[in-house]
Amino acid sequence: MYKILGKTLAVAVLSTLASLLISFAFVPLMGGQVAGAGLVMTIACPIVISIPASLVHFYLGEKLRSTNTALAAARDELAAAYTRLQHQARRDALTGLLNRATFMTELETRSQAGMHGGLLFLDLDHFKSINDRFGHATGDAALERVGALLSELAREDDIVGRLGGEEFAIFLNAASPARMLDHSQTVREAVEAIDLFSSSGQRIPLGISIGAFHCAPRFNPAEALAASDRNLYRAKSSGRNMVVA
């Protein structure tokens, strides 16, 4: 408000000076004198007119600037919220990996682009017993650790998702069958090496079964996932904590 008053007084002073300058410049040319009531009007008129007009002008201008600032902040906040919602819609809340729907969409995109690669279907072994024996908080911690590990081991153009429960999937973009198997074993060994402890300090051993399937260009995502799922079932049936391709 002080800023508005300062600007208003400045305009009043300038208006008065301009009025005096004009009066003293032109009134004598017309045979008159700037004195008495004429001098008072020369001073009073610009003050009486400029002060209320300037107050309204500067007040509305300041209000408009404040409104524009608030609108810009709201726009930025809305854009940030939209970005967060987009991220949340694509990601699994617990692990931060792609959720099932997004993973399948990305897999379809790779297929349509003519990509080939290795598709891994992974299942954390004996997960129900971890929840039953040590509690769901420990089970969630196991899923978080595995999810972080899978993301860390993946390359930038690979896609990693949590399909639900203790099931994960990885598409190794443009991977050869050899790289697919090597990566699968690396993941299996890394999960096995995770140090997860219960609230009582007991180390909880982890294992993961992996079904691998190599996808040719223009593969069918649903059929490829079903094939890797069948290999996962074979891994589970054969003793768990192993890779079957």
Q: What is the pLDDT of residues 178-190, one digit of tens each?
A: 999 999 999 999 9
pLDDT at 64: 81
Q: What is the pLDDT of residue 111?
A: 97
pLDDT of 81 reads 66
CA separation for the pair 188, 193 (Å, rounded): 9
> Is residue 122 packed enough to be buried (19+ CB in 10 Å), middle (13-18) or exposed (0-12)?
buried
For residue 134, report the phi and psi dihedrals to the nearest 5 degrees.
-115, -5
How many C-beta atoms lie closer than 10 Å to residue 181's C-beta? 18
Q: What is the pLDDT of residue 34?
A: 60
Express each pLDDT in 113-172 by its tens digit. 999 999 999 999 999 999 999 999 999 999 999 999 999 999 999 999 999 999 999 999
C-alpha 234/C-alpha 216 separation (Å) is 22
- Which pLDDT score is estimated for 54? 67
Rounded Cα distance, 123 and 128, in Å = 12
How many CB atoms lie under 10 A from the CB of residue 92? Answer: 20
**Residue 19 confidence (pLDDT):** 60
Alpha carbons 168 and 98: distance in angstroms, whole number? 10
pLDDT for position 39: 64
Residue predicted with more confidence, 16 or 220: 220
In the chain, pLDDT over 70 holds for what percent of residues? 80
Residue 205 burial by Cβ neighbours in a 10 Å radius (0-12, 13-18, 19+):
exposed
Q: According to the model, what pLDDT value does residue 188 have?
A: 98
Catalytic residue among 62, 144, 156, 166: 166
Q: What angle do CA 145, 146, 150 make, to 5 degrees?
A: 120
Mean pLDDT of 202-227: 97
Asked if residue 23 has pLDDT above 70, the reply is: no
Tokens matching residue 47:
């003050």
pLDDT, tens digit, for every residue of 91-106? 999 999 999 999 999 9
CB atoms within 10 A of CB 149: 19
- Assess whether 62 carries a catalytic annotation: no
Nearest to 153 by CA among 124, 184, 131, 176: 184
pLDDT at 83: 62
- The pLDDT value recorded for residue 72 is 81
In degrees and rounded to multiples of 5, residue 98 shows phi and psi of -60, 140
pLDDT, tens digit, 9 for 90 and up, residues 42-83: 666 767 776 777 666 767 777 788 888 887 887 877 777 666
Tell me the HSE value of 159 on the side-chain side, using a 13 A CA sphere.
Answer: 26
pLDDT of residue 65: 82
